[in-house]
Structure 1
Amino acid sequence: MLNRYALLAAAGFLLMGCNKVQSNPTPSATAGSTVPAPIQALAKAGGIEITGSMDAPQGYQGFLGRYHDQPVPVYLLPDGQHAVIGSLYDAKGGDLTSGPFRDALTPRLDAGLWSSLEKTAWVAEGSNHPKHIVYVFTDTECPYCHRLWQATQPYLQQGDVQIRNIIVAVIAPQSLGRGAAVLAAADPHATYVAHEQHFRDNSPVQVLKDVPEAIRKKIDGNEALMDKLGIDGTPTLLYQDAKGTIRMVPGMPSAATLKTIFGS
């Protein structure tokens, strides 16, 4: 039996964030007619779902796999008879996997996506007339989302930045009720801030037992876009860089990455 942690480590893609809770946490192997037999056999043996393809060095075939909701690179070896999971390196130690793996996982980020983000149910912080907007998929129960909230407060003081927190409910049973309480509040911003300020203590934002249907639909819509983008956890940030290119940053960003996103 393949070791779960070895597979996750092989991906090289573990992030500081809260993983989305799945209704079926153990993906089953899926294999279409275009997937070679060794890849199908590996998927079946390891409980891996083959979700797509990726670029690979000459002679190899690269595939995207998912194991316990984490992406993993899978290769068919040049002999066509054997399959492996993990990263490939050349004779000089050059990483031949990370770039193609990252590219294959990156969804198409275009103007249509930015328009979709604008239509989600979000809670804004910062400037009312921003020059720079950052969207964050966030769950009220996610400790990494809270860490991000703390880390971004100084940037909001700059006066030209706005963070739009897209509320989802994917982490814990109370996520839906608390997220709904924020969106249903008379002042969602003040309610959201009050929750974050007391995240480690006792949140003053009570979990709604009966979520209004209209609010539920808003959160469902947020999660639908999250799924469309292939986002597996919170927080995940999306922003436009200086050239107008949309960038996605999953997990809790490093201090250097925060400076890149928000400016020094």
Structure 2
Amino acid sequence: MIKKMLGTIIVLILLPNAYAADVSEETRKTIIDKLQQARPDLEYGAVETSPIDGLYRVRINGTQFFYANKTGDYIITGDMYQALPGMFAPIKDLAAAKLRKEMLDSLATKDMIVFPAADVRRYILHVFTDVDCGYCRKLHIETVPELNMAGVEVRYLAFPRAGLDSPSYRKIASAWCAKDKLAALTALKNRQPITENVCKDNPVASHFLLGQKIGITGTPALILEDGALLPGYSPAAELLTIMGLDENSDG
């Protein structure tokens, strides 16, 4: 539904992290105290102004956030968009993007399933995926080959949405444990069975927990090189435009 409403997204509006200094300690305390009364289980961080007057961005659990009014009585979750001519452009959270990038950069590439660029690598795209997700299959079958041909290396991380005690986990873990990981993952994406082989110390659980930590709630979830999060399926042409790799770009 949101994809149909937004159409092609080709702009990411940068939201600087300098807003926090504008929030008084009194306002921060009022908002946090109210929120802690409602959800003491969450880890609250900075309270920052947003582009909308009277609406504050409250950081939770590191890279996630929601918006609250000045008293903390009401909150809004979800992404914020700016209305521009011909499109709704998502506002990118620079601080969260930086944390995502740092976390992904710390991971060993050998623990990912990597579909390399066909020729010279021009871009690295991380994708949290699930083998029982229709749009993940569509992305893998239709989009990933085009991205590879355009110089994009796609690095998959596992995110079995049904959890770590599920058939989805066993299937995707078996792909990570297969001798030919690329072939096994592609077979599952094409609804073809593979031999179940959940090997010891496979990285699926760590990928899943990392995904939750950095704000992944569904699949596919695409992380750009700068750490920006793009949730959901996108065709190759749209992604190449966002990456600056389309035919009209100098990238």
Normalised by the length of structure 1, the TM-score is 0.59
For structure 1, the residue ranges without an aligned partner over 5 or more in a row are 1-8, 14-32, 88-92
Aligned residue in 1 for 2:154: 163
Mark the CA change 1:56 to 1:47 in structure 2 (over 3 Å): closer, same or farther: same
Residue 55 (1) aligns with residue 49 (2): yes
* 2:213 aligned residue (225, 228, 241): 228
CA contact (8 A) 1:238 1:249 kept: yes
Q: CA deviation at 1:146?
A: 1.3
CA contact (8 A) 1:141 1:175 kept: yes
Aligned residue in 1 for 2:174: 181
Partner amino acid, structure 2, of 1:54: E
> Matched residues, percent identical?
22
Q: Alignment partner of 1:134: what SS?
A: strand
* Aligned-pair Cα RMSD in Å: 4.4
Structure-2 separation of matches of 1:154 and 1:254: 11
Structure-2 separation of matches of 1:41 and 1:160: 45
Q: CA deviation at 1:234?
A: 1.8
* 1:197 aligned residue (173, 177, 190): 190
Structure-2 separation of matches of 1:232 and 1:60: 27
Q: CA deviation at 1:144?
A: 2.0
Structure-2 separation of matches of 1:226 and 1:249: 13
CA contact (8 A) 1:237 1:248 kept: yes
Mark the CA change 1:113 to 1:38 in structure 2 (over 3 Å): closer, same or farther: closer
Q: Alignment partner of 1:83: what SS?
A: coil
CA contact (8 A) 2:144 2:154 kept: no
Aligned residue in 2 for 1:36: 30
Partner amino acid, structure 2, of 1:184: C
Normalised by the length of structure 2, the TM-score is 0.62
CA contact (8 A) 2:97 2:227 kept: no
Matches within 5 A, 1:1-264: 35-36=29-30, 40=34, 44=38, 51-52=44-45, 53-56=47-50, 60=54, 62-64=56-58, 72-76=66-70, 83-86=73-76, 102-103=92-93, 106-109=96-99, 112-119=102-109, 121-127=111-117, 130-131=120-121, 132-156=123-147, 158=149, 160-171=151-162, 173-198=166-191, 203-208=192-197, 211-215=198-202, 218-240=203-225, 245-253=226-234, 257-260=238-241, 261=243, 263-264=246-247
Q: CA deviation at 1:117?
A: 4.0
Structure-2 separation of matches of 1:86 and 1:175: 31
For structure 2, the residue ranges without an aligned partner over 5 or more in a row are 7-26
